[in-house]
Amino acid sequence: MSVSITIKAGIDDGALKRPPPSVNRQSRSERLRSERRSDRLRALIAIGLVVAGFLAVSGQLVRLALNGQHEEQIALNAPIATAFARPDIVDRNGRLLAGDVVMPSLFADPAVILDQKEVATKLSKVLPGLDADWIRQTIADRGKRFVWLRRGLSPAEAQKVHDLGLPGLEFRSELRRAYPLGRLAGHILGFVDIDNKGRAGIEKYLDETKDVDAVHGASLTAKAPLQLTLDMAVQFAVEDELAHAIKRYQAKAASAVVMDVRNGNILAASSLPGVDPVSVEERSERARLDRLTQGTYELGSVFKTMTVAMALEQGETLDTIVDVRQPLDVESYRIEDMHPAGRPLSIAEVFLKSSNVGAGKLALAAGHEAQKDFLARLGLFDEMSTEAGSLAKPTLPGIWGDIETVTISYGHGIAVTPLQFVAACAPLINGGYRVNPSFVDRRGRSDKSSVERKQVISPETSRHIREIMRWNVAGKIGTGSHADVPGLRIGGKTGTAEIAGVGGYREKAVISSFLSAFPMDAPSYIMLVSLYEPKGTPETHGHITAGHNAAPTTARIAARIAPLLGFIPGGAGPGE
């Protein structure tokens, strides 16, 4: 009895605890939704972790790649700097003076080199300019992938290196500047650096006028050549005669410039010893200084040409008498003539006899202010520059009193570059107007400057200067007779200046110069020839003055270049 009751009771309890069918279905649905939400959440978390991991890995790869690229650029790209393709440089007749050529350059990949000692030893034997120890040091770091060993090899040198068959040595073609005429006009042309960028002279001018192209590799420019006013036939004749003059008169150096007096175009400009544009060593040698543009000198009695012109501009005539019988005492100084005339001289004779006393008296009569004004009008005080670079600044006296006025009248106490002096003398020859010296043919160039025909002295004064310059060469009493070339009608003026040293002027050390022009009835060209520290020789009978060395050198140059310029001695020249 009790059993049945217990069982019933149990059945009734279980029946009471079981939920209704609808409630049971709802719970399962909620559980399923909850499980799905959990699954989605777990999936999102997993995806997020994967994405985060991917981003972390990607970021690390990017960081490493960037760091690696920077190092690789240093190793591979830095030595291969941007180079410059340059146009050819030609003379006024189209002769090639400078041009780009494609040449192999040698580099090494240290990581590929098997035996550094072998490479250094063998390479130094086929390329003697390379030191074996330097090669070993250069290729020692195997972490580097690119190091230059020699840039600009000749084909023969490149073939020798190639024949070694050494792993890790490679070639890259580059543009290199070539100067087919060697040292000829080397100072004027200037030079380029290892990347073919102009650093001096006409080469630097090309960069300043943006006539060069930045390139990678060995791409030649398509730009037209730069045409200079130089004539290489004239240039060669000038340099050849200067070289002979250095030997003949035992001089330390020589210089000369030939300029078209009508427009300032320079046909030849030479300073010897010359410089090879491709020689780094020669550029730094003081003996190879360009004396035409970078050295300033007291040029001596050639300045009397300006002093006489100043007197004529102030109303004097060539017949005006100057008393030169006694030395000229100024302040505590006494000025004397080397060969006193012993009588009064006309202004023309002051010039022809090269009287220091006469020049000094003319300058004192004009006054130092008039003297400064006249020299300034000629452009002697200007900071001058040409396409080949800036000229050295003139050295002027700090105090310009009576004694300075006198010494400057005959070319002492003021120092200028020979090229600036020639430009200042042009108005004395060409009818009275200034011209700008130029090395670049202005015709057809966008940066051309018209010839500046600024009148600074009268045509009449210029005509008288031409007359006495011709008398000085062709007459009986002039100092320039050794400069005469039959039929060419040369005129000129001698100048012998002592060279200043520590504590005063150096004894028997002079610069002898001859200023000339031709033909004097209708001048086309002006020329200044200077010899630095010539010695007395049997040929000159021991003399070191300009009349015995610079004047005959001028005659030899003029005789050679006149036919090249279209002048036949004794005949008519171009345009006459």
List the catalytic residues.
301
d(CA 403, CA 412): 10
Cα 379 to Cα 385: distance, rounded to the nearest angstrom: 12
Work out the end-to-end distance of the chain between its first and last CA atoms, rounded to an integer number of angstroms.
164
Q: What angle is formed at CA 337 by the lines to CA 251 and CA 518, rounded to 5 degrees?
A: 55
DSSP class of 73? I
Nearest to 164 by CA among 113, 88, 204, 224: 113
Question: Is beta strand 345-346 parallel, antiparallel or unpaired with respect to 321-322?
Answer: antiparallel
Distance CA 400, CA 113 (A): 71
Residues 308 and 465: their CA atoms lie apart, in Å, by: 8
Residue 509 corresponds to which tokens in the numbers above? 């050390």
Q: List, in sequence order, every residue forming a beta bridge with 482; answer none if it has no partner.
A: none
- Distance, in Å, from the CA atom of 231 to the CA atom of 546, rounded to the nearest integer, reads 27
Q: How far apart are CA 340 and CA 361, in angstroms?
A: 15
**In Å, how far are 266, 271, 387, 545, 555 from 235, measured between CA atoms?**
10, 11, 17, 25, 15
CA distances from 462 to 307, 411, 428, 466 (A): 13, 20, 5, 6
Q: Cα–Cα distance between 162 and 152 in angstroms, integer?
A: 15
Q: At which residue do the structure tokens 């079981």 appear? A: 18
Site of tokens 């609808």 = 22
Q: What are phi and psi of 48, to 5 degrees?
A: -60, -40
In angstroms, the CA 361 to CA 384 distance is: 30
